[in-house]
Structure 1
Amino acid sequence: MSAQPLLMLDVAGQSLTHEDRELLRHPGTGALILFSRNYASPAQLSELVTEIRTESPDILIAVDQEGGRVQRFREGFSRIPPMRCLGALYDRDADAALAASREMGLLMAAELIPHGIDISFAPVLDLDFGASSVIGDRSFHAHADAVVALVAAFIDGMAAAGMAATGKHFPGHGFVQGDSHLELPVDHRSLDEIRAQDMVPFIKLADSLAGMMLAHIVYDQVDAEPAGFSRFWLQNILRGELGYRGLIFSDDLSMEGAAAAGSYAQRAAVALDAGCDMVLVCNNRAGAIDVLRYLEQRPASQVVPASSMRAQQHQVSTAALQAARNTAMRLLEEAK
């Protein structure tokens, strides 16, 4: 059996089952994403990660730890405010907001890395058009230039702790009302409109992002395929126009926005053929197994290795971490 490590999957609970171990040892498994169900305490998390790395030493381990309502590990970790709090502060005091954004990136990464977590799928680069409930307060700001400034500071904080950044959801999820977890949204704007608005943060920050996650959205004036399945968006725009050279992640292929592509194997095939380097299958074990069987038959291709995003723990002073925690608490209090 031969397969490239192109799948990111999940595990069942707070310790590994026999089936989890078999899937982690499969050569098609390149990465793992953890969820709230996998977490009870910092000590338990470290034990779970040790188990995982015993089965697959080089695996990339990820989590969604953006802050606000998207924070999988809570008890024992600092509560990170939604990014909209930083945008609100930016409108009052830009310098203070940039300093706070850097602190939030540092805090998030510095608390994850000692437990063996390589990446958090953050930051969100989507603009807040006031339309998307699934994005909403996850966005830093409504204006592209503010998002660029705040996200750049956040990425700088992550880097100071030793974590690479993943921008999402290219080319922009904030304009549509539909939730791609539940449906396939359609954005009717032209490429020029998208390029002048949503794409600005991706264009300006492409060189700072080691990972990029695609949106399950059809931009029907640009291409009939959802962005994550579109060679035009991945090859012509992201790789070509933006010159992006990092790792490209599909969004979760279990989402309804990916269902039109067919079976899980078909979804993975279309995403990989379009140019994704890593496909995600979350919360559907049968779907993940379907993709692994497909990868056993897929011809080898050149991809960006996921190992390029492994975290490197940097020394962060206790004083810097405490200052960041104080800032987080202050932002949360102001948001009440």
Structure 2
Amino acid sequence: MTIGPLMIDLKGMTLDPAERELLRHPWVGGVILFSRNYESPEQIAALIDSIHTLRGPRLLVAVDHEGGRVQRFREGFTSLPPVRLLGQIYDRDPPQARRLAAITGWLMAAELRAVGVDFSFAPVLDLDQGVSRVIGDRAFHSEPDAVIALSKAYVRGMAWAGMAAVGKHFPGHGSVAADSHVALPVDERPWQQIRERDLLPFERLISAGLPAIMPAHVRYASVDLLPAGFSPFWLEEVLRGQLGFQGAIISDDLGMAGAAGVGGMSERVRAALSAGCDMALVCNDPHGYAPLLDELEGDHLPGTPARLLRLYGRYPLTRSQLSRNSAWQRAVQAVTAYARF
């Protein structure tokens, strides 16, 4: 059996029989976890183990765990500061900021790998231009060179812990005020400005071997009529062609308002996959998954690209091993210390 091109979420902290059936469907290839799925490290590890035992190859398990406002697991995990703090440190001491970025990426990934999570949707590669509240301090910096330096270190730290990074939100979400969760943002800037600034972090991280990318639910009006996540121009011509990206492309949540203009959920899934996404993310619609899978049943099921298989997590420590690990202890101290300033 292959893993399918859909990633869906769960209602609670354990699997119910209907969810077990859904997760065995050939169109499903992954699960994204949220705060409602979390109670403790022991509980989330048991939930993930129950997901892993459902089928082979096992489903991918992911979470949004950037730090700051976006950290789904809290109690029992290190509280990670927003990465903007690393940008502020970078302005004073670039080598120290790069060192702390690598430590933070490793700590985030190591703690998630210890409970069985394959990958986090991180890091944010957007340039924060001071207009997007939904991005804000989730971005490292406003300048491409700083974002490149810090995100490369952060991704390197994730890789040391056995986790693949997912850069987001291609080609850049930091210059629009609208929140794509509730509206479709439209970026009116010319191609040249996007190319010379926003694309630079993606281009440099791709050159360094970035494993996966999430495109934005943003329409870049001077470039293409379609939002980036549904655009063959952005995903095939620019991302695959011009930038040479060979990793996995995972859509942003197709349940967001920024995706609504494409049609119903099955039309959104088809459009995202046709545009070049390898996996379509659908969240917060537990009653809609069975009808969606029924609608997709007759469609040709794409094979599993090798680039998705490279997102499986590697060599985790157990929670008890991690707590005794001197590198983890030092990382917690370092992150806790800079988070206070």
Q: Normalised by the shorter chain, which TM-score bucket?
A: over 0.9
1:138-217 mapped onto 2 (5 Å cutoff):
138-207=138-207, 208-217=209-218
How far apart in 1 are the matches of 2:289 and 2:253?
11
**Corresponding letter in the other structure for 1:64:** D
Task: Using the TM superposition, give the Cα deviation of residue 155 of structure 1 relative to its aligned residue in structure 2, in angstroms.
Answer: 0.5
Q: Does 1:293 align with 2:294?
A: yes
Residues 3, 304 of structure 2: 8 Å contact kept:
no
Task: Using the TM superposition, give the Cα deviation of residue 291 of structure 1 relative to its aligned residue in structure 2, in angstroms.
Answer: 3.3
Could you give the per-residue CA deviations for residues 263-295 of structure 1, whole angstroms, max 9, x where no partner exists? 100110111110111001100123333432233
Q: Does 1:325 align with 2:307?
A: no
Task: Using the TM superposition, give the Cα deviation of residue 135 of structure 1 relative to its aligned residue in structure 2, in angstroms.
Answer: 0.3
Counterpart of 1:15? 14
**Corresponding letter in the other structure for 1:330:** A
Counterpart of 1:242? 243
Which of the residues 294, 315, 323 maps onto 1:313? 315
Question: Identity rate of aligned residues, in percent?
Answer: 50
Task: Using the TM superposition, give the Cα deviation of residue 297 of structure 1 relative to its aligned residue in structure 2, in angstroms.
Answer: 1.7
Could you give the per-residue CA deviations for residues 156-183 of structure 1, whole angstroms, max 9, x where no partner exists? 1000010010000000000000000000
Deviates more, 1:181-190 or 1:316-325: 316-325
Task: Using the TM superposition, give the Cα deviation of residue 302 of structure 1 relative to its aligned residue in structure 2, in angstroms.
Answer: 5.3
Deviates more, 1:187-196 or 1:301-310: 301-310
Counterpart of 1:251? 252
SS of residue in 2 equivalent to 1:163? coil
How far apart in 1 are the matches of 2:291 and 2:190?
36
**Corresponding letter in the other structure for 1:219:** Y
Residues 46, 116 of structure 1: 8 Å contact kept:
yes
How far apart in 1 are the matches of 2:170 and 2:303?
22
Change (3 A) 1:43 1:95: same
Change (3 A) 1:314 1:36: closer
Change (3 A) 1:262 1:276: same
Counterpart of 1:272? 273
Counterpart of 1:85? 85
How far apart in 2 are the matches of 1:126 and 1:319?
33
Counterpart of 1:96? 96
How far apart in 1 are the matches of 2:270 and 2:120?
25
Residues 4, 304 of structure 2: 8 Å contact kept:
no
How far apart in 2 are the matches of 1:47 and 1:177?
40
How far apart in 2 are the matches of 1:280 and 1:293?
17
Deviates more, 1:3-12 or 1:228-237: 3-12
Give structure 2 stretches of 5+ with no counterpart. none
Change (3 A) 1:4 1:63: closer
Counterpart of 2:283? 282
Task: Using the TM superposition, give the Cα deviation of residue 3 of structure 1 relative to its aligned residue in structure 2, in angstroms.
Answer: 9.0
Deviates more, 1:298-307 or 1:282-291: 298-307
SS of residue in 1 equivalent to 2:179? coil
Change (3 A) 1:276 1:294: farther
Change (3 A) 1:154 1:194: same
Residues 2, 304 of structure 2: 8 Å contact kept:
no
SS of residue in 2 equivalent to 1:115? coil
Could you give the per-residue CA deviations for residues 105-126 of structure 1, whole angstroms, max 9, x where no partner exists? 0000000102110000000000
SS of residue in 2 equivalent to 1:61? strand
Task: Using the TM superposition, give the Cα deviation of residue 296 of structure 1 relative to its aligned residue in structure 2, in angstroms.
Answer: 1.9
Counterpart of 2:109? 109
Change (3 A) 1:187 1:115: same
Give structure 1 stretches of 5+ with no counterpart. none
Counterpart of 1:27? 26
Residues 165, 210 of structure 1: 8 Å contact kept:
yes
SS of residue in 2 equivalent to 1:19? helix
How far apart in 2 are the matches of 1:112 and 1:4?
22
**Corresponding letter in the other structure for 1:292:** L
Counterpart of 2:223? 222
Could you give the per-residue CA deviations for residues 232-276 of structure 1, whole angstroms, max 9, x where no partner exists? 001100010011011101100010000111110011011111011
How far apart in 2 are the matches of 1:302 and 1:195?
32
**Corresponding letter in the other structure for 1:298:** D
**Corresponding letter in the other structure for 1:311:** G
Could you give the per-residue CA deviations for residues 66-92 of structure 1, whole angstroms, max 9, x where no partner exists? 011100001000011100000000001
TM-score (norm 2): 0.94
